[in-house]
Structure 1
Amino acid sequence: MATLTLTRLWINLLADGSAISAYSSDRSRSYTVPTDVRTYAGGRQRAVTAEGAKRQFEFTLTPVIAATVTQLEAWAGQTVQVRDHRGQRFYGVYATVGVGELRDGTYTASISLQGVTVEQE
């Protein structure tokens, strides 16, 4: 029986399947339900919520080369699939690539992936 050991974070562009992989130093997530508090007559306040939830995942890739940073920047705004070292799969879109420079000439790149719903075939 074959065993697969995942040691890296993989990002695939859904449009054409091209991939980026790198070690990931961390991952955090947040879960938000769209909620608004409205004030009505007599000063009463009521919560108004919308159906659905916003899921956001933060990934940091390190160390990466300049070409990887450029590729991540080119993919901003497009739907990607991310697989972490646990084999978990996330679909989403990111708008920003945070870049930090390391002493050896490589970089850290961080993305904030906003989850989207993807139809599975």
Structure 2
Amino acid sequence: MATLILDRVWINRLDTGEAVSAGSVDRSQQYEQDGEVITFAGGRQRAVATEGERGTFGVTLRRVSLATVGKLRDWMGVAVLVRDHRGQRWTGVFFTVMPSEPPVAPGPTAAYWYDVALTLRTITAAEGV
């Protein structure tokens, strides 16, 4: 019996389907809703919240090529679908690409890989035809 181990993050453009995948670390999620507590007559306090939720998904892609860094830079502001190894998915856009050179042992290929940090801002997207 074969065993399939999923250990990557996939990023697909929604308009073209073009894809990038890489191993990942530092996956974080945050969800917010606008609201406040209002004081009414007699000192009663009630929560008032607006519809909708703001979400972000942060991830660091590991060991990607310079060509992939360039591709991600081209995709800034474009709607993408991100899936992780757990089957979770987020639709959104990112506006910042932060490549960094990971600490690696010296060698002939050490200078060709980058770690890239992205923060996806979730958006509402219709699924289906």
| TM-score when normalising by structure 1 | 0.83
Q: Does 1:21 align with 2:24?
A: no
Q: Which runs of 5+ in 1 are unaligned?
A: 39-44
Bigger drift between 95-104 and 75-84 goes to 95-104
Number of residue equivalences: 117
Bigger drift between 47-56 and 109-118 goes to 47-56
Give RMSD over aligned pairs.
Answer: 2.3
Bigger CA radius of gyration: 2
Report sequence identity in percent: 46
Quote the residue 1:70 is aligned against: 70
State how 1:35-114 maps to structure 2 within 5 Å: 35=35, 49-103=49-103, 104-105=110-111, 106-114=113-121
The residue type equivalent to 1:12 in the other structure is N
Shift >3 Å, 4+ stretches: 1-5, 35-38, 45-49
Between the aligned partners of 1:24 and 1:48, the Cα distance in structure 2 is: 38
SS of match in other structure, 1:72: helix
SS of match in other structure, 1:95: coil
| TM-score when normalising by structure 2 | 0.79
